[in-house]
A and B are shown apart, each in its own frame.
Chain A
Amino acid sequence: MLSRVADSLYWLARYIERAENNARILDVNLQVTLDDESAGDSDGKLEWEPILASLEDQKLFHSLYAVTNAETVCEFVTFAKENPNSIRSCVAGARENARTVREYISSEMWERINSLYLWLNSATARQLFASSAIDFFRHVVDYSHQFHGTTNATLTHGEGWNFLQIGKYLERADSTSRILDLKYHILLPSGEKVGGNVDTVQWQAVLKSCSAFEAYRKLHIGPVAPWSVAEFIILHDSFPRSIRFCAEGLDASLHRISGSPRTHFATDAERLSGKLCSDLNYATIADIFKMGLHQYLDAIQLRLIEISSALLKEYCEWLDPSDESEQTQSQSQS
């Protein structure tokens, strides 16, 4: 397939996944702050600053807004056009990429993305956001699920589908690690103890952000313990949002593209992803906490970036990022 098409499919999937994950994070944080009895006392800064930290968007945010609270953070992460990672920007990016590969993807896939885009820019979406933000975010997540379902059901599971999977799993592994890391940034209110009520609520929120609470509950009855949450989210072998599961999916798709067996590597991207899989397969949660959860997650994020660069170098090396001026030149046709 064309390198440009592979590149667009990869980014298309990443943008959709990013939009979904932003919606998840906001949804859960809103719910947590509703549960938090002390929330009424503060101005919201405490609850919402960590979101920005985990998305690494603090600088841009503070240049746009004077105060940090539910309203400004939700607006920034959902609609702000200035924020290239806002849900709206991500969906616009996904749609732009989908447009360039319109002949490659199925019409059903296109219609999912296009109608999400049209909806996000409609007054209906704004109204829902204002009246019930939680429903709004669920709606975004639903769209993303519909897109993945439609993709699986209508697109040939060939090379292009594999590029979509790679984009999806890379982005998902990255955001799962960020959601978990979110807990690192959240400060417990003074007087609260590690393992206390607030702490438990926060760990539960982390699970819910990954749709992992119900799955986790099936394994662990009793109090929500930090180490078991981290273990579940990082190392579970079959929960579809765990980092290990994403790394496996990513590695499998890479090998399907090159045709080399999973036990070997044919490209640098495969070598890196194979190594990541193997580390995750053999790691214990004790090792991870020994290294420090935050440091460990940071390292994972860096490794994902390396895999991404290696992938693009291998398959899309023709693309010259400085060629973008072409997009602004137009001509008329009769």
Chain B
Amino acid sequence: MGQPFSKYEVGDFYDEMFQAPGEARPHYRMLLERFNEMVDGEIERKQDLATGTFLNQGITFTVYSDNQGTERIMPFDLLPRIIPHQEWEHIERGLVQRIQALNLFLHDIYHDQRIIKEGIIPEDVIKSGKHFRPEFMGFDVPKDIYIHICGSDLIRDREGNYLVLEDNGRCPSGVSYVLENRQVMKRVFPKLFRRHKVRPVDHYGQELVNLLRYVAPPRCEDADAPTAVLLTPGIFNSAYFEHSFLARSMGIEIVVGQDLVVKDDVVYMKTTKGLKRVDVIYRRIDDDFLDPTVFRKDSVLGVPGIVNAYRKGNVNLANAIGTGIADDKVTYYFVPKMIKFYLGEEPILPNVETYLTMFEEDRKYVLDHIPELVIKSANESGGYGMLIGPHATKEEHEKFRQAIIKDPRNYIGQPVISLSRCPSYCDGQIEGRHIDLRPYILSGEKITIIPGGLTRVAMRKGSLVVNSSQGGGSKDTWVIDDE
């Protein structure tokens, strides 16, 4: 194709690669040269090689609405997203600050609730939070860490400023794609890698297992080598590939609920040599499904008695029970205030401007401007329960209007942000597509963030929805040492 970028349109967005038509940003220039050198058909061949690799390795996910339950590969985009060193440092500082505040908030909310008493957050926000667990008031978690693994979604506005769109403090998924995308890119573009100094990501498994061991309960049997396992809902879960991938890279067992049993408030796994005690569980099951004797009675994914074992301090769970109150989209509104309250600092990464429909003034504004806003329900994820005003029909506007009036606590409104665009190879040519960034933040002995994270791409032209369940794809994310 000779000059693959010759027809590229920058458009009225922040473009990650081009500062003006035909003029690449400095950190993208080598990439541009490489693509301009490509011979006819080379991009297609590389794309096929990448897709084939994913398929053969079984790197797939399942879509729920699809009755077939078919496995699909997440569309992979060949063009990497490049983040210069300085930009990454800024992001990293902002994320560290944010996770510190969130963990302090969770400790506070399950103990003294100073933040309510001092009038920073209305009591009602917490009390009515779907994922607040009053049963755990006064409960101490090992090392006071609640969110061990956090995935915060970042977007860039028209000026290129990084904003936090939401925090995922329960079971954020997608990190396996960060690692697999990197493997595939190394295979497909070995020379490019040598030329850029791309910071590695493959120590994630090691960092994660270190973290799990660090938060083992104090009364664990063998403090030097606590037994950690990964609890998965099973092979029919859409993220099963990731669960097994992570267990493999950590060298720990992956278990389903029926592999575990609780006796005298101690959790054991059933092995061929009898019962073996478990100290830490990286659970990829939501609170609701964890223990049928405590939460949802119909859950067959969980382990009866596990919550009592946790309460007694015989086992630890990552993430802790009750972290969902921190990634409630209404709580999100208050995170910048939390940062000031707990840390006495200004937020480094701002939130997206947000209206809380529980506040009368905001509600009025939102109801008057639905067609221009993004409306989100407070506790849905994966791109469900969301309305993008300008892209929706009148009926959909009306549906959300009624829903807001009925339950103002559970909705927020945000202006439509024109997410930044990055060149993507789709339908045989290179075009701009909207992207976001989900870095993975690990809170253990120290806070660790693997450089970059998952860049999700809205593969459909013009779409702003990047979720994999909604047809989004991903691309490799390079944090480069360009100092």
Contacts and interface: CB of A to CB of B under 8 A. Distances in A.
B300 A329 contact: yes
Given A4-B258, A159-B272, A326-B256, A334 B172 contact: yes
26 contacts: A2-B255, A2-B259, A3-B270, A4-B259, A4-B270, A99-B58, A99-B244, A102-B245, A102-B248, A103-B245, A103-B254, A107-B57, A114-B56, A114-B57, A257-B272, A318-B261, A318-B270, A320-B258, A323-B300, A326-B257, A327-B235, A329-B301, A331-B233, A333-B382, A334-B170, A334-B382
B10 interface: no
A327 B244 contact: no
Which residue of B248, B271, B382, B469 has the most chain A CB atoms within 10 A of its CB atom?
Answer: B271
Interface in A97-117: 99-100, 102-103, 107, 110-111, 114-115
Nearest to A113: B58
Interface in A209-252: none
A4 B259 CA distance: 7
Interface string B115-153: 000000000000000000000000000000000000100
Contact of B272 (A3, A107, A331): A3
A159 B233 CA distance: 25
Contacts of A110: 57-58
Interface residues of B, number: 48
Contacts of B236: 327-328, 330
Contacts of B338: none
Interface in A310-334: 315-316, 318-320, 323, 325-334
Given A4-B258, A319-B258, A329-B301, A102 B173 contact: no
Interface of B: 55-58, 64, 151, 168, 170-173, 233-241, 244-245, 247-248, 253-259, 261, 269-272, 284-286, 288-289, 299-301, 381-382, 384, 469
Contacts of A96: 235
A327 B234 contact: yes
Contacts of B173: 333-334
A330 B64 contact: yes
Contacts of B259: 2-4, 318
Contacts of B261: 318
A1 interface: yes
A256 to B, nearest CB: 12
Contacts of B58: 99, 102, 110, 114
Closest 3 CB pairs of A and B: A334-B381, A103-B248, A318-B270
B244 A2 contact: no
B132 to A, nearest CB: 18
Contact of A4 (B151, B168, B256, B284): B256
A326 B234 contact: yes
A169 B271 CA distance: 23
A304 B98 CA distance: 61
Is chain A's interface secondary structure helix, strand, loop, or mixed overall? Answer: helix
Interface of A: 1-6, 96, 99-100, 102-103, 107, 110-111, 114-115, 118, 159, 257, 315-316, 318-320, 323, 325-334
Nearest to A106: B248
Contacts of B256: 4, 326
Nearest to A112: B56
A315 B272 CA distance: 5
A111 B301 CA distance: 28
Contacts of A1: 271-272
Contacts of A319: 258
Interface centre among A110, A257, A330 (most CB of B within 10 A): A330
A100 B255 CA distance: 9
A333 B238 contact: yes
B56 A118 contact: yes
Contacts of B254: 103
B284 A332 contact: no
Contacts of B55: 118
A267 to B, nearest CB: 11
A6 B247 contact: no
Contacts of B288: 331
Nearest to B248: A103
B253 A2 contact: yes
Contacts of A257: 272
Nearest to B269: A2
A323 B235 contact: no
A16 B97 CA distance: 52
Given A96-B235, A327-B235, A334 B168 contact: yes
Contacts of B233: 329-331
A332 B382 contact: yes
Contacts of B234: 100, 326-327
Nearest to B284: A333
A2, A159, A319, A328 — most chain B CB neighbours (10 Å): A2
Contacts of A320: 258
Given A4-B256, A333-B238, A326 B301 contact: yes
Contacts of A318: 258-259, 261, 270
Nearest to A4: B259
B247 A2 contact: no
Given A1-B271, A334-B168, A334-B170, 10 more contacts: A2-B255, A2-B270, A99-B240, A102-B58, A102-B248, A114-B57, A320-B258, A329-B299, A331-B301, A332-B384
A331 B289 contact: yes
A318 to B, nearest CB: 4
Contact of B239 (A111, A118, A333): A333
Given A4-B259, A111-B57, A118-B56, A332 B253 contact: no
A71 B63 CA distance: 36
A332 B57 CA distance: 23
A334 B234 CA distance: 16
A6 B56 contact: no
Contacts of A115: 56
A136 B254 CA distance: 36
A141 B299 CA distance: 42
B244 A103 contact: yes
Given A331-B233, A333-B237, A103 B300 contact: no
A329 B233 CA distance: 8
A315 B236 CA distance: 25
B279 to A, nearest CB: 16
B8 to A, nearest CB: 33
Nearest to A107: B57
Contacts of B244: 99, 102-103
A195 B289 CA distance: 67
Nearest to A7: B272
Contact of A334 (B171, B235, B270, B289): B171
A151 to B, nearest CB: 17
Contacts of B247: 103
Given A103-B244, A114-B56, A323-B300, A6 B272 contact: yes
B289 to A, nearest CB: 6
Contacts of A325: 300
A83 to B, nearest CB: 21
A237 to B, nearest CB: 30
A253 to B, nearest CB: 13
Contact of A330 (B151, B172, B237, B245): B237
B343 to A, nearest CB: 26
Contacts of A323: 258, 300
